Chain A
Amino acid sequence: MLNRLFSEIRFRLRALLHRDKLEQELDTELAFHLQKEAEKHMATGASPDEARRRASASFGAVQGTKDDARDARGISLLDSLVQDLRYALRGLRKRPAFTLGVVLTLGLGIGANAAMFGIVDRLFFRPPLGLKDPETAHRVFQHRLVEDRRPRIDRNFNFRRYLDLQRNTRSFESFAAFQTRTLALGEGSATHEAKVTVASASYFRFFEVRPALGRFYGPAEDSVPAGAPVVVLGYDYWKSRYGGRSDVIGRQLRIDRTTFTIVGVAPKGFVGAGDQGVPAAFIPITAYAHAVRGPRYPTVYTWTWMEMLARRKPGITQAAAEQDLTNALLGSWRETIAEQPNWGKLEDLGIRGELGPMHLARGPLAGQDSKVATSVLGVAAIVLLIACANVANLFLSRAFARRREFAMRLALGVTRGRLARQLLTESLVLALIGGAAGLVIAQWGAAALRAAFLDDAASAVIVDPRTLLFTALAVLVTALLTGIVPALQTGRGNVNLTLKGGANEGPHRSRARPLLLVFQTTLSVVLLIGAGLFVRSLSHVRNYRLGYDVAPILYASANPRGYQPTEAEQQTIAESMLETAKRIPGVQYATLTVSVPFWSNEGTGIWVPGVDSVNQKWNFLFNTGSPDYFKTMGTRILRGRAFDERDRAGTGLVLVVGERMAQVLWPGQDALGKCVKIGAENEPCAQVIGIAEEMHLRSLTSERDYSYYIPVAQHTAPPDLQVFVRVTGNPERAIEPLRRELQRLMPGPAYVNVVPLSQLIDPSLRSWKFGTTMFVAFGGLALLLAAIGLYSMIAYDVTQRTRELGVRIALGSSVSRVLRLIVSSGLRLVGAGVVLGVLVALWGAKWMEGFMFQQTARDPVIYGVVAGILLLVAVVAAVVPALRATRIDPNSALRVDG
């Protein structure tokens, strides 16, 4: 059976591909036969002419035989397909406007889907490039209980924990530690910042990749504590900075504060665990840690900064491995507590290990972004549905206009199946062209999308076979969706009636079109409501009081790059930074700082007389500031006073607390004047002199950040080399002067970086911003499509009803009555769609709630506005053709096609 099938396929392919040759062979074969036959007759004494005549007669019609032989060759189906294709292409070329409209509509729909698929695929499904055996590779997470026994999941660990886990587990082949940081590369004026992955040597063995050049570093170069100063360049960085030259091996590259020797180049596209961008370089984690923290880093549990990967041994189940991991973590924490008793009891910490998937978006710490990405994929699918509905509608109206042509062809003996196939071919061709346009659109839009969702915008969507496959599927679905209704409707109704009647006297009006319109409206309403909700959420986020101003503030920080100033020197540099910053034109206030919102925060234990285990219950963020701290940040003092010039070293210790901190520490009491011991239980009391509004330093939504502020002058450690400045006017313009002036103060290799504070906070707004952009863009697209659909349908109806309307006007119907008649029929459909859409949106509201920020997903204002917009669009879309209808001259209308 299979053999026969292959033989069939081979034969038919040959038949299709070598048509001319086969035709020729058939001719030769038949000619040979005729000749032999003629020879036979000649042998019996016939004249050559007579022999040929008799041969032909006995053979029958040569042409017929050829047809039959060709049929037996089995090319007629494929032939007719080719015919259909030609016919479709000819038809599309003849109606460029229609074709362009459909291709654009489908292109946008398919393009949006292809682009979003690329994102979601990367976020959730495709393992990082080159990952070996993804089944047994995991990210390591740690669960523990914090304040009020609230669960907390971490993926950052300290180096000593990493050593503990390696030593005390048996279920794992290997662990890897890594972190991607933005570091300064190069020297002098060529210094630039780039992402650098600091990784253990074992990191590379999680992947099945070969270096493009040279080698990766090995365990000997990643030995505790100092490792070796070797670097593997990222492929893109190698290409762009070194022009892809092979003699880079052995060259020196200064990264952060150490000079590294280049030993290799990572393969193209290699991003490692791949969630923090394309690294410019990979350096041994021990070399980096040693350079930053000195030789003690592997012996302490305090510096929590790196992520971990783990690979299970073959044959060990995930549950068993997790148990092993948990046990090792518990052992490690026991040691931690022995060294730092203020962690409390091990049992209360609820330590548990988890082996999560490599994809962060699928793991326990999935961010809002990934949820938004999924929902946007859903939105893209809806847009495609709307596009399909629109195109199906266009096809239907075309099919309606062509029904005389169809009837004629049916009368001439074309089968209905063939007609339907022709229509499907047409929609397939259009969907294919639309798909190609979609890929272009996706390619174009993908860069923006990827930048929003994935940091590594390196790979292009078009070369990605998974996306191509998805696009091909989308094209097929589209072709079916758009083609099936018109195909089903072909030649329904009576051929005779259609042929006899004028083009305007359709015996049946399609019911599919109004239904499609209602469907389209419903989906548009849902999308627009989603868009409205996101817009409102974003504006809430933007207007949300963070407890400080964002727009007018610049953040300037000095990176000493290995230069280690003495404490006194650091003090001097910090003070001169502050003074210099204040002198820059446009700068209003400036302050030194320790904590930087959404960037880095310090916490120091505090002790409060009368309140037990403060540090176990809450986590307090600590900040120091210059006298102008609150003026610079725009943080309001609610009660008491801010610290100022009076609070110096040697005067009484003071602090300002956030309002929530005051509430949790001294509920129902006046916090002013209370005593707080900072850093250790035996420190002297610092007195609460003021209560400030609470700052959101780590999260927009968390109500659990508590912070307090002390004057930098009273802090025991020298101030960090970073300042906030408040600028009047355009802050962008102050960036460069500020950087230049501060840079003059820097000793040795140190350099200054100045960024607007908004740049540090924006990533936290990203999911809302992106949701808003996408919903508004897609919602607008949907609205446009729905409006076009409505307009074309009503305009079409009006042309169909020209005669009826003419009669009405001839009989004395007023213009406004005709107008009302037409507009109300459009409004009825859209009204139905709006009601359905509102119902769907209400039903889906619960699901949307998670994306909202201080915004109910059932906001009646948004629902009302969206309904109003759609009805308005419906009226406009209906009025234009309706007005045209009222101008019908009854005389000519009655004569149309008469």
Chain B
Amino acid sequence: MIGLFLSKRKGNAVTDHLDLPQGTLDLLILKAVSLGPMHGWAISERLHDVTRATLQIPQGSLYPALHRLERRGWIRAEWGSSDNNRKAKFYELTPSGRKQLASEAKAWARLTNAVGLVLDMS
């Protein structure tokens, strides 16, 4: 029963026009919100800026990813007001999200390290 709930996803994956490896977007979002509560647009801007515009976050994938992370309990959302008093949904990291971020970041480091080693082969 639980399995049914967890595994259900539609065929057309949410990441199909994304150049990022599968799951990377989640890692980036987690990292972004780990710095403090942030709304969706701010996250996309922050990622865009920090990567010096190398990474264009497909905004269509951002919100499904946010909702997925929220569902998994890694981030939580709260309605607040933005700069000029407009209602916006702010996301922030939960304790379990922090753990997830740490372990994903470590895995990412090991992966890139390993890939780097292979590419440095001579």
Chain B residues within an 8 Å CB radius of A6 = 73
The residue that B89 contacts in the complex, of A8, A25, A64, A72, with Cβ under 8 A, is A25
Whole-angstrom distance from the CB of A65 to the nearest CB of chain B?
Answer: 5
User: Are A7's CB and B72's CB within 8 A?
Assistant: yes
B88 contacts A by Cβ under 8 Å: yes
User: Are B6's CB and A29's CB within 8 A?
Assistant: no
Given A7-B73, A32-B39, the answer on whether A68 and B14 have CB atoms closer than 8 Å is yes
A28 contacts B by Cβ under 8 Å: yes
Name which of A53-61, A313-321, A683-691 contacts chain B: A53-61
Chain B residue with Cβ nearest A59: B59
Cα distance A4–B95 in the bound complex, in angstroms? 12
User: Are B6's CB and A60's CB within 8 A?
Assistant: no
B67 contacts A by Cβ under 8 Å: yes
User: Are A37's CB and B41's CB within 8 A?
Assistant: yes
User: Are A68's CB and B72's CB within 8 A?
Assistant: no
Cα distance A28–B86 in the bound complex, in angstroms? 10
User: Are A64's CB and B72's CB within 8 A?
Assistant: no
User: Are A77's CB and B4's CB within 8 A?
Assistant: yes
The residue that B9 contacts in the complex, of A4, A36, A71, with Cβ under 8 A, is A71
Cα distance A11–B2 in the bound complex, in angstroms? 13
Given A33-B41, A33-B59, the answer on whether A11 and B86 have CB atoms closer than 8 Å is no
Cα distance A55–B53 in the bound complex, in angstroms? 17
The residue that B67 contacts in the complex, of A4, A37, A69, with Cβ under 8 A, is A69
User: Are A76's CB and B8's CB within 8 A?
Assistant: yes
User: Are A29's CB and B63's CB within 8 A?
Assistant: yes
B37 contacts A by Cβ under 8 Å: no
Q: Within residues 65 to 79 of chain A, which ones have a CB less than 8 A from any CB in chain B?
A: 65, 68-69, 71-74, 76-77
Given A12-B5, A60-B59, A69-B63, the answer on whether A32 and B87 have CB atoms closer than 8 Å is yes
A861 contacts B by Cβ under 8 Å: no
Cα distance A29–B82 in the bound complex, in angstroms? 12
User: Are B71's CB and A73's CB within 8 A?
Assistant: yes
Question: Which of B2, B4, B5, B9 has the most CB atoms of chain A within a 10 A radius of its CB?
Answer: B5
User: Are A61's CB and B60's CB within 8 A?
Assistant: yes
Q: Within residues 45 to 95 of chain A, which ones have a CB less than 8 A from any CB in chain B?
A: 58-61, 64-65, 68-69, 71-74, 76-77
User: Are A73's CB and B67's CB within 8 A?
Assistant: yes
Chain A residues within an 8 Å CB radius of B63 = 26, 29-30, 33, 65, 68-69, 72
The residue that B65 contacts in the complex, of A12, A58, A72, A76, with Cβ under 8 A, is A72
A5 contacts B by Cβ under 8 Å: yes
User: Are A71's CB and B64's CB within 8 A?
Assistant: yes
User: Are A8's CB and B6's CB within 8 A?
Assistant: yes
Given A8-B71, A12-B5, A72-B64, the answer on whether A32 and B96 have CB atoms closer than 8 Å is no
User: Are A4's CB and B73's CB within 8 A?
Assistant: yes
Cα distance A77–B9 in the bound complex, in angstroms? 9
A3 contacts B by Cβ under 8 Å: yes
User: Are A60's CB and B41's CB within 8 A?
Assistant: no
Question: Which of A6, A35, A36 has the most CB atoms of chain B within a 10 A radius of its CB?
Answer: A36
User: Are A72's CB and B73's CB within 8 A?
Assistant: no
User: Are B58's CB and A60's CB within 8 A?
Assistant: yes
User: Are B82's CB and A32's CB within 8 A?
Assistant: yes
B52 contacts A by Cβ under 8 Å: no
Whole-angstrom distance from the CB of A11 to the nearest CB of chain B?
Answer: 4
Chain A residues within an 8 Å CB radius of B104 = none
User: Are A74's CB and B41's CB within 8 A?
Assistant: no
Whole-angstrom distance from the CB of A35 to the nearest CB of chain B?
Answer: 8
Chain A residues within an 8 Å CB radius of B70 = 11
User: Are A58's CB and B59's CB within 8 A?
Assistant: yes
User: Are B71's CB and A32's CB within 8 A?
Assistant: no
Cα distance A60–B63 in the bound complex, in angstroms? 12
Interface 1/0 per residue, B78-118 and A, CB below 8 Å: 01001000111100000010000000000000000000000
Given A4-B73, A11-B71, A32-B41, the answer on whether A68 and B8 have CB atoms closer than 8 Å is no
Chain B residues within an 8 Å CB radius of A12 = 5, 71
Chain B residues within an 8 Å CB radius of A58 = 59
User: Are A72's CB and B68's CB within 8 A?
Assistant: yes
Interface 1/0 per residue, B30-61 and A, CB below 8 Å: 00000000011100110000000000001111
Whole-angstrom distance from the CB of B22 to the nearest CB of chain A?
Answer: 15
Chain A residues within an 8 Å CB radius of B79 = 25
The residue that A76 contacts in the complex, of B10, B40, B41, B44, with Cβ under 8 A, is B10
Question: Which of A9, A33, A35 has the most CB atoms of chain B within a 10 A radius of its CB?
Answer: A33
Q: Within residues 441 to 488 of chain A, which ones have a CB less than 8 A from any CB in chain B?
A: none
User: Are B5's CB and A77's CB within 8 A?
Assistant: yes
Q: Within residues 17 to 43 of chain A, which ones have a CB less than 8 A from any CB in chain B?
A: 25-26, 28-30, 32-33, 35-37, 40
Cα distance A395–B111 in the bound complex, in angstroms? 55
User: Are A65's CB and B71's CB within 8 A?
Assistant: no
Cα distance A3–B10 in the bound complex, in angstroms? 25
The residue that B14 contacts in the complex, of A11, A72, A73, A76, with Cβ under 8 A, is A72
Whole-angstrom distance from the CB of B75 to the nearest CB of chain A?
Answer: 11
Chain B residues within an 8 Å CB radius of A37 = 41, 59
Cα distance A59–B40 in the bound complex, in angstroms? 12
Cα distance A30–B10 in the bound complex, in angstroms? 21
Whole-angstrom distance from the CB of B78 to the nearest CB of chain A?
Answer: 11
User: Are A64's CB and B6's CB within 8 A?
Assistant: no
User: Are A3's CB and B73's CB within 8 A?
Assistant: yes
Given A8-B72, A32-B87, the answer on whether A71 and B40 have CB atoms closer than 8 Å is no
Whole-angstrom distance from the CB of A162 to the nearest CB of chain B?
Answer: 56
Chain A residue with Cβ nearest B59: A59
Chain A residues within an 8 Å CB radius of B10 = 71, 76
Chain A residues within an 8 Å CB radius of B64 = 65, 68-69, 71-72
Chain B residues within an 8 Å CB radius of A71 = 9-10, 14, 64
User: Are B40's CB and A29's CB within 8 A?
Assistant: yes
Q: Within residues 8 to 38 of chain B, which ones have a CB less than 8 A from any CB in chain A?
A: 8-10, 14
Chain B residues within an 8 Å CB radius of A3 = 73, 96
Cα distance A73–B63 in the bound complex, in angstroms? 10
Chain B residues within an 8 Å CB radius of A69 = 63-64, 66-67
Whole-angstrom distance from the CB of B64 to the nearest CB of chain A?
Answer: 4
Cα distance A26–B10 in the bound complex, in angstroms? 19
Given A73-B67, A76-B10, the answer on whether A4 and B72 have CB atoms closer than 8 Å is yes
Cα distance A12–B88 in the bound complex, in angstroms? 22
Cα distance A64–B10 in the bound complex, in angstroms? 13
Chain A residues within an 8 Å CB radius of B82 = 32
Cα distance A67–B44 in the bound complex, in angstroms? 20
User: Are A7's CB and B71's CB within 8 A?
Assistant: yes
Chain A residue with Cβ nearest B41: A36
Cα distance A28–B67 in the bound complex, in angstroms? 14
Whole-angstrom distance from the CB of A7 to the nearest CB of chain B?
Answer: 3
Cα distance A6–B71 in the bound complex, in angstroms? 10
Cα distance A12–B69 in the bound complex, in angstroms? 13
Cα distance A76–B8 in the bound complex, in angstroms? 8
Chain A residues within an 8 Å CB radius of B59 = 33, 37, 58-60, 65
User: Are A64's CB and B41's CB within 8 A?
Assistant: no
Chain A residues within an 8 Å CB radius of B9 = 71
Whole-angstrom distance from the CB of B70 to the nearest CB of chain A?
Answer: 7
Extra 11 A-B pairs, beta carbons < 8 Å, given A7-B73, A25-B79, A74-B5: A11-B71, A32-B41, A33-B41, A58-B59, A60-B58, A65-B64, A71-B10, A71-B64, A72-B14, A72-B67, A72-B71
Between A and B, 18 residue pairs with Cβ closer than 8 Å are A8-B71, A9-B5, A25-B79, A28-B87, A29-B63, A29-B88, A29-B89, A32-B82, A32-B88, A32-B89, A33-B39, A59-B59, A59-B60, A64-B60, A65-B63, A68-B60, A71-B9, A77-B8
Chain B residues in contact with chain A, CB under 8 A?
A: 2, 4-6, 8-10, 14, 39-41, 44-45, 58-61, 63-68, 70-73, 79, 82, 86-89, 96
Query: Closest 4 interchain pairs by CB?
Result: A7-B73, A60-B60, A68-B64, A72-B67
